């Protein structure tokens, strides 16, 4: 399901948060996202939606691109220094430390 990338226009942020929280209420506990979705926007929405129940769910995310000033993906990047920046950014956007 695309909320901010890949399947038409982005879903309204509040609607996306409501949808994700409804999924949790129905027993969904695994959520997958990536920094490239949006870019970054999907991680922010998932983080906001799941913050109240973070200890009850698993969040997976992915990284691997360097983005230009226009947020267009530029090149693949798995250098150690980029991995650290990507992980720190994802944790911040997802509002979690694990």
Check if 40 is active-site.
no
Of the candidates 36, 31, 34, the residue with the CA atom closest to the CA atom of residue 54: 31
d(CA 34, CA 25): 23
Active-site option among 37, 41, 43, 50: 37
**Residue 83, C-beta contacts closer than 8 angstroms, at least 6 positions apart:** 63
* Catalytic residue annotation: 37
């Amino acid at each position: 399901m695309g909320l901010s990338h890949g399947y038409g226009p982005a879903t309204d942020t509040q609607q996306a948060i409501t949808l994700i929280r409804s999924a949790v209420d129905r027993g969904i506990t695994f959520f997958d996202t990536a920094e490239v979705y949006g870019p970054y926007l999907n991680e922010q929405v998932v983080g906001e939606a799941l913050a109240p129940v973070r200890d009850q769910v698993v969040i997976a995310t992915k990284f691997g691109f360097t983005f230009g000033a226009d947020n267009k993906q530029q090149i693949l990047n798995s250098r150690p220094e980029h991995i650290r920046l990507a992980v720190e950014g994802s944790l911040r956007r997802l509002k979690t430390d694990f």
